[in-house]
Structure 1
């Protein structure tokens, strides 16, 4: 899908519409296109590709329950006006859908971010609200970019200025895409920017690492999880290849991973034969 030279940009995130990262992207992207912000009204990090559709009690603060008695296939998505756009009582994927399909004209591209914290590795795609919003847009046929900032070990306050580099890179990607056929080749980009206090070291075209090393224990009557991936990042001792996103960020390079939406159709005959033996 070819981008227009003056694109209509839908901007969303999972940190909430008042997060500094989305304001930084809004300011940077406003210089290269028309920006509409539709973002969660509060932090919705790590909700993955969840939707509010078909559920109740989303605004009460209580547990979400499936509304099995609904007699309609249309559900409202509550929102309030915000100085940046629309603050939605919903998930990042809610925002991507209503923005990609509910706006006139439909956006040319969706940008999700800038997230506070890197989103590195293939395992994160179904978990991260930031990446999930971009993925949702890609499933709907709209090119998209997920943008995240590594903040591991960064102790200063995260003001919009900390996301300035991320904003510049995202604006360059959006402005530079028309005429290149980029989004004829890829569905979405997952971009990770090194910490703002690191010396810039260019960018790298990467693949998401496939390393996944969560650990768990049951101690003193309690379960606990340990994220070995981030432990390795903190120690700057990772097993990932030099062509991976994690390696690039540790080298202070901006990681750009070109991606297709998942769940490609496989050769069905071998699977059919195996399932015939099993079932």
Structure 2
């Protein structure tokens, strides 16, 4: 009888977010799960680390790290799901892979409340960055996000049932397929609750990026045209891209190599078709 895989589960919305609870419950049916996640919301921190942030002065920081043998503490508290870390998603991935026994076979990051779409998001999203950090540490990983634009703020774990089921299917089905011999990490985006996808689309991250800056009445402001388009259900992206697939109501799966290269391989699609 095969041993269930050991999954390190993290996120950027914080350990008490409903998305990570949904993933924990679903993944626990198919794997041994250890949660190491931020103790509060760490959205959009990208691949930042808390390493060495003991001083705001650069000279003092260098001295602090040298005195500590280039080791920096990562404060944490015990939590009913695992470990709540005073740090970033990448902090959680690093300590989860290297410091927690047993070493994980796979890292799952999410489920993020909000889609993570496009090439621009890979350096910004804490969810995707946690998966990317695992890939750099030679551990296969999956980032899972759900479109929540326009939904109420107080989502419950049940609202994340679809992405949780997709993540569980991937974790259960991937071992032995050779998928992660071809791919470093997957970026998965699932439509909103109430949409019943027919299946998934293998996608590349869209290159469309539209952020505006303006001075209005003496105040600087930013406008995210991408989210504006999402809210209007506009699709300015090519059909093979992640945002196009999601707005068409399909699950988007982008197979990636670190740092940002999409994998175009028919074998990958055949493997995922067998799993999902």
* Pair in the same fold by TM > 0.5: yes
2:63 is paired with a residue whose SS is coil
Query: Offset at 1:156?
Result: 6.9
The reply to whether residue 28 of structure 1 matches residue 26 of structure 2 is yes
Q: After TM superposition, give the deviation of residue 75 of structure 1 in Å.
A: 1.1
1:115 aligned onto 2:112: yes
Report deviation, 1:263: 7.1
Distance 1:93 1:157 in 2: 26
Distance in 1 between residues matched to 2:211 and 2:238, nearest whole Å? 19
| Offset of residue 221 of structure 1 | 1.1
Distance 1:65 1:45, change over 3 A: farther
Contact 2:119 2:260 in 1 (8 A): no
Query: Per-residue CA shift, 1:29-69, capped at 9, x if unaligned?
Result: 00111000000000000000000001127xxxxxx665222
Report whether the alignment pairs 1:17 with 2:15. yes
Equivalence for 1:157 = 154
Matching residue of 2:63: 69
Query: Which structure 1 residue ranges, 4+ long, deviate > 4 Å from structure 2?
Result: none
Deviation string, structure 1 residues 144-169 (Cα, Å, up to 9, x no partner): 00000100122373100000111100
TM-score (norm 2): 0.89
* Other structure's SS at 1:55 match: coil
Aligned partner (choices 24, 37, 40) of residue 38 of structure 2: 40
Q: How does 1:1-279 map to 2 (within 5 A)?
A: 6-56=4-54, 66=58, 67-70=61-64, 71=67, 72-155=69-152, 157-262=154-259
Root-mean-square deviation (Å): 1.5
8 Å Cα contact 1:46-1:127 kept in structure 2 = yes
Structure 2 residue matching 1:68: 3-state secondary structure: helix
Contact 1:201 1:253 (C-alpha < 8 Å) held by counterparts: yes
SS class of match (1:76):
coil
Give distance in 1, aligned partners of 2:42 and 2:260: 25
- Taking a change above 3 Å as real, the CA distance of residues 54 and 212 of structure 1, as seen in their structure-2 partners, is same
Question: Structure 2 stretches of 5 or more lacking a match?
Answer: 262-276
Any unmatched runs of 5+ in structure 1? Answer: 58-63, 265-279
Equivalent position SS for 1:184: helix
Q: Which moved more, 1:40-49 or 1:195-204?
A: 195-204
SS of equivalent residue, structure 1 residue 83:
coil
